[in-house]
Amino acid sequence: MERRLRGLLDQAKVGRFADYLELLDHDPQQLRRFRGFLTINVSELFRSPDRFAELRNAILPRLLEARPTLRMWSAGCSYGAEAYSLALLLADLAPDPNHYLLATDVDETMLGRARAGRFSERDLQHVPASMRERWFRPNGGAVDEVRAKITFKRHDLLTEAFEGNFDLIVCRNVMMYFSAAAKARIASLLYHALGAGGYLFTGSTEAMAQLPAVGFTRESVGFYRREGSHARS
C-alpha cells in the first residue's frame, strides 16, 4: 500500500505524506484521483446470483405483500450494476411507477457511468435472456424506461445525512473500506434509515458484528432485518 501510494505522491510532485494530505484537503481533482485509487469498482448485474435469487423469491415478495409500493436504496452503487438489478426485479415482480429506487455513490465518475446505463458482456452475464432482450440494447445499453426508474445522487456515507423509511437497502462490499468505529456508526445509520421490517442486503463475505449490535437480526447469508411489522404510513 505504501509503495503504491508513493506512486501517487510522485504523480502529484510532493515528497511527504503530510504534504500529500494537505494537497487532498485543497485540490478536488487530486482527491478524486485518490478515491479512485482506494476503491475497487468491480461489480456486475445480479452479482452472487444465489443471493439475488433469494431476494427475488423470498425477500421482495414478503415486502411487496405488506407494501405494494417500495422504497429501495443502493448505497455505494459504483457504476450502477446493483441498482439496475433492483430495477429489473421490480419491473418483473411488481411494475409500478411509484416505486422509489435511489442509487448513491461518493464518486461522480462512477455516477456518470451509472446514469449512462451501459454495461459490458461480463456485467450482463447473469441477466436472464428474457430480461436482457426486453431491457437492454444490443450494445449493452439499458433502455430509457429502465434508467428512468432510478434516481442517482452523490452521497457520502461518512459525512452526509441519510434519507429514511426504506424497505430495502443494498450496501454490498462497501463498509469493508471503513474503520471499526466508522462501521459501527454507519450500521446504526442504516438501521434507522430502514422502516420497521425492512431489510439490509450486504456482501456475502461481510460478516459484521456491528449489525447485530445495533439491532439487526440476521435472516440468512447477506440479509439482515430490522425487527417490527412491515408497515409504513
**pTM, to two decimals:** 0.83
Instruction: Pinpoint the residues of the chain covered by CATH 3.40.50.150.
Output: 49-226
Q: Which of 27, 33, 26 is nearest to 11 (CA)?
A: 33
Q: What is the pLDDT of residues 146-198, one digit of tens each?
A: 999 999 999 999 999 999 999 999 999 888 878 889 999 999 999 999 999 99
The cell numbers describing 47, all together, are 452479482
Q: What distance in Å separates the CA atoms of residue 15 and residue 198, rounded to the nearest whole number?
A: 49
Q: What angle do CA 191, 146, 139 make, to 5 degrees?
A: 125
Pairing of strands 223-226, 216-220: antiparallel
217: β partners: 225
Q: What integer is the mean pLDDT of 111-127? A: 95
> Is the Cβ–Cβ distance between 99 and 66 less than 8 Å?
no
Is the confidence at residue 71, as pLDDT, over 50? yes
Is the confidence at residue 232, as pLDDT, over 90? no
Is the confidence at residue 128, as pLDDT, over 60? yes
Q: Please check whether the domain covering 49-226 is classified as CATH 3.40.50.150.
A: yes
> Is the Cβ–Cβ distance between 63 and 69 less than 8 Å?
no
Helices and strands in the chain: count of H runs, count of E runs: 11, 7
Q: What distance in Å separates the CA atoms of residue 186 and residue 11, rounded to the nearest whole number?
A: 33
